[in-house]
Structure 1
Amino acid sequence: MTTPISLTSTKMNLGLRQTEEWINDVLLPRADALGRLRFCLCLPHPLLPFGIRRIEATDMSVGAQNVWCEAGAVTGEVSAGLLAEIGCTHVMVGHAERRRLFAEDDRLVGRKARAASLAGVTPVICVGENERLGPAETVAHVRQQASTALRFLPVGAAAVVLYEPVWAIGSAQSAQPHQAAAVLDALHHAAPGHLALSVIYGGAVTPGTYSSLRRLAPWDGVALGRAAQDAAMLDDVLRELVGPARREPCRGT
């Protein structure tokens, strides 16, 4: 089996000092396992250079939480070219909060994904239903979101599609395994053949989530929320995804 992939977003929850403590105390001691997992930490824009410096000796990577869809004089936005220049490998586009608070639609998400891809940054396209729906409705809604955005990507582009039910974000309950598996399977089939696509699940991911879904459908990994910041829970997830983690000494600042 191909090694799963994983990412996490700290949103605006951690400041500079808290981010440093998290990287030093939780991530770096587990750098070997997280590197095998191709783990990407998505940070707020001001923290990106710091995060890139702190994990540069590992196989982890750093991604951004948002990007603008074109270059030029757009005050307050950040271009894909700049993200690539400072060393970002990934950028999230179309997260549920961006869609809700800033009215981002699937076409804008697609334009952002294309801009990232052309700059050499892998877009993480976020999709998911706002409320609990039946299996057929969920599949149709999420597949439409993904298909629209993926059509903007150039031939040969790499992309990650993150299926994260909006109602599960920050909650204690993930989607039902059979329903989530149906969505993940549909997303694999929604991708044009000219793309290198990975499909991952997020939303109340805890130890056991990956294994329960992996038995039901092909998918490529998980996006972690609180599990990435809780050392004990992260150890359990790592054992599930890549085997026992070899603890390493913390690297100095």
Structure 2
Amino acid sequence: MATPPRRRIVGVSTKMYFSAARTRRYVSELLQILTSSPPDLLARLDVFVIPDHITLASVVSQLAGTRVLVGAQDASCEDAGPFTGEASPAVLAEVGCRIVELGHAERRRLFGETDRDVARKAAAAARNGLTPLVCIGERARGEAAAAAGECRVQVEAALADLPDGADVILAYEPVWAIGAAEPAGADHVVSVTKAIRALDCVRRRKGTTRILYGGSAGPGLFAKLQDGVDGLFLGRFAHDPAQFYRTILEVATA
């Protein structure tokens, strides 16, 4: 029996760029745009928004009754306990969070997170019914084969403790392309993501494994990458709701 096609997906993280008021306005403006979109648009793909921790619960309320998923920018590997300042994956699930972004290059660089830390957090997310969105990517610009090798180590570690049937999203974000003026070249991205898809730890999983591209991603990119990825993970280019919607349309129709 043929494997059904993976559902496309596109989303945005606001990192720590927005105030609470701007987050409310952003979500409200996005909803207004989506209200006037083709009625079956969000039935064709998954769309997610990842705000900061402080506004997450209010964003869940704003998006209640829609198909737009809400994610968190990080989560603890523990469900509860004496962990001051941490965000419990159990509580995130309780308030309506659906996705947890883990292992972003900034957290690895600024907070010293390791592949093992990311793996423990991914397992904690999955046991609480959340979908781990695990960021992977090579540090320095180079050949696709070397990049794929560096990513393989990260992917194998992230999936090591994840239940075989759990869904996971891998966000391929070359570290050198994050915040750059241009994304990584399409040939490079497709080569690396196809290599990731071919890994035994990915190919043999029962759960759905989707791959996104992030790293200066924006409108006009998905059509060039769709042979290797299932969607895009956007940053500053989607901080304008109209631009985000333009990218949603592209991913849905390419």
Pair in the same fold by TM > 0.5: yes
In the TM superposition, what whole-angstrom CA distance separates every residue of 1:97-151 from its partner, at most 9, and x where no partner exists? 1100111111110100000000000000000112212121111001111111111
The aligned residue for residue 14 of structure 1 is 18
Correspondence for 1:220 among 227, 230, 240 = 230
* Cα RMSD for the two superposed structures: 1.8
- Is residue 2:249 matched to residue 1:242? no
Consecutive unaligned residues in structure 1, runs of 5 or more: 245-253
- C-alpha deviations, 1:38-71, integer Å up to 9, x for none? 1111111111110000011210011100001113
Question: Does residue 1:203 correspond to 2:205, yes or no?
Answer: no
Residue 36 of structure 1 and its aligned partner are, at CA, apart by 4.0
Unmatched runs of 5 consecutive residues or more in structure 2: none
| Distance across 2 between alignment mates of 1:15 and 1:55 | 18
1:83 aligns with 2:117: no
Q: How many residues align?
A: 242
Is the 8 Å Cα contact of residues 128 and 166 (structure 1) preserved in structure 2? yes
Native 8 Å contact 1:66 1:91 kept in 2: yes
Among 146, 149, 154, the residue aligned to 2:155: 146
Paired residue secondary structure (1:129): coil
**Counterpart among 39, 47, 65 of residue 39 in structure 1:** 47
Give the Cα separation in 1 of the matches to 2:58 and 2:43: 18
**CA separation in 2, counterparts of 1:7 and 1:235?**
10
Q: Report the alpha carbon displacement of residue 8 of structure 1 after superposing the two structures with TM.
A: 1.1
The normalised TM-score by structure 2 is 0.89
Percent identity among equivalent residues?
A: 38
Secondary structure of 2:140's counterpart equals: coil
Conserved in 1, the CA contact under 8 Å of 2:135 and 2:172?
yes
Q: Could you tell me which residue of structure 1 aligns to residue 71 of structure 2?
A: 63
TM-score, structure 1 normalization? 0.89
Instruction: Kindly indicate whether residue 40 of structure 2 is the aligned counterpart of residue 30 of structure 1.
Output: no
